[in-house]
Structure formats: C-alpha cells, structure tokens
Amino acid sequence: MKFFKQEEFDSPDKPGSGAKMKPHFLKMLIAAREQAKIPFIITSGYRTRAHNKRVGGVNGSSHTKGVAVDLRCKDSKTRSIIINAAIAVGFTRIGISDRFIHIDADDQKVQNVIWMY
C-alpha cells in the first residue's frame, strides 16, 4: 500500500487487525496523503471493541468498522494541510482536537460535519 504499512492501522491489542480497514476508506486516505504532501502519522486506526472501550471511544465508533483514522496534528499549519486535503478528496466527516484530526468515511452516520473534541 502506498504511504502506509498495514501495521500502522492495527488495534494495539490485536496485531494484524489493521487488515480490517475497509478498502474504500484506505483509497481515500491515500489520496488525501498524496494531496497533502506531508507525513500522516496514525495515532489510531482500526480498534477492537475492547480497545475502543479502553480509550473511551463512542459506542459504534467508526474505528471499530475500519473506516476511520486519527492523524497526529499539533499545530495550525499541519491542521490546515490535513483538513484541506481530506475535504479535497471527499471526506465529509472530520473531528478536530488539539492533538489529532479524526477523519472517517462512515456512510451510516450524518455527513458534512466537522466537530471538536
């Protein structure tokens, strides 16, 4: 896979679980990375239900469906680059915190939203 290794998406409690990421999501993520031209550091990819619970993820988190990542982001310039790239390639669900940006392609949830943590 271009730009990423499957292990980067692993749930920390289950080696190999990064394989559960959905191809349509990865395709969009790779396109966003290509557009951004900066490294995307994944702080959370796929999550088992147990891991999701441990990190305080919401019930039915898009991470447990393999259609979400959190990307490390601590400064305003990086934040702008990542968000612009995500929107450019069609992501419509973005969450912003002071430490990371969540992007997902969960078609079972409301679209065209940007939220804060």
Q: Contact residues for Zn ion (CB under 5 A)?
A: 70, 102
Least distance from Zn ion to the Cβ atom of residue 77, Å: 21
Pairing mode, strands 93-96 and 113-116:
parallel
Closest to Zn ion by CB, 65 vs 102, is 102
Which residues lie below 8 Å from residue 84, measured CB to CB, with a gap of 6+?
36
Least distance CB 62 / Zn ion (angstroms)? 7
Smaller CB distance to Zn ion: residue 70 or 106? 70
CB of 87 to Zn ion, least distance (A): 17
Q: Which is nearer to Zn ion, 51 or 102 (CB)?
A: 102
Q: CA dist 66 to 30, 75, 98, Å?
A: 15, 26, 23
* Tokens read off for 14: 């289950």
* SS3 assignment, position 78: helix
